[in-house]
Structure 1
Amino acid sequence: MAGRIVRWGVVLGLGGLWWWSVLRLALVPGAGVLEGAVAAGGWGLSLLPVHCVPKAKAKAKVRAWRGVAPSGTRGAVVRE
């Protein structure tokens, strides 16, 4: 439970820092390099493929989503 609270605190803190830097870049004429680096870094992190899985696991999930029976079994998978 404590780990979840800490994780959410970090996520919200970093998200707030990112929004602060973006708004400061947009609204304050004298915004500096620090704000630009934080904004660019946060945007760059959003491009990382953090939800990648091995190809076999991905195919199994797609088959399960479509309701196709896994190979080696008889019958169809019924979605509720």
Structure 2
Amino acid sequence: MAVRGVVLVPVVALGLVVGGLWWWAVLRLVLIPQQAGLVEGAMAAGGWGLSLLPVHVTASREITRASPRRRSDGESGPS
């Protein structure tokens, strides 16, 4: 259990740093676009692109079916 905590701290810190850099880039593009450059644009676009990834679609450990099992009596369920 202690190993998870040791690994989790750098991951969270990295996420906070990258998130802070993304916000910095977006704010520079919005507030002072004449001074924002290629780095800010790439950082903002990259972060936005990552937000579009379907992270909720991940491999599941349990086997699922596309539809529920049919009832043995052959009748449809309640509407």
TM-score range, shorter chain: 0.5 to 0.7
Q: Are 1:32 and 2:40 matched, yes or no?
A: no
SS of equivalent residue, structure 2 residue 23: helix
Give the structure, 1 or 2, with the largest relative contact order (CA under 8 Å, sep 6 or more). 2
- The answer for unaligned runs of 5 or more in structure 1 is 64-69, 71-80
> For residues 58 and 23 of structure 2, what CA distance do their matches in structure 1 show?
30
Aligned to 2:46: 41
Aligned to 2:14: 10
- TM-score of the two chains, using structure 2 as the length reference: 0.65
Q: How many residues align?
A: 61
> For residues 15 and 58 of structure 1, what CA distance do their matches in structure 2 show?
35
Q: Say what the alpha-carbon RMSD is for the aligned residues.
A: 2.5
In our comparison, the structure showing a higher alpha carbon Rg is 2
| Identity among equivalent pairs (%) | 49
4+ residue stretches of structure 1 with deviation over 3 A?
57-60
> Cα offset for 1:49?
1.2
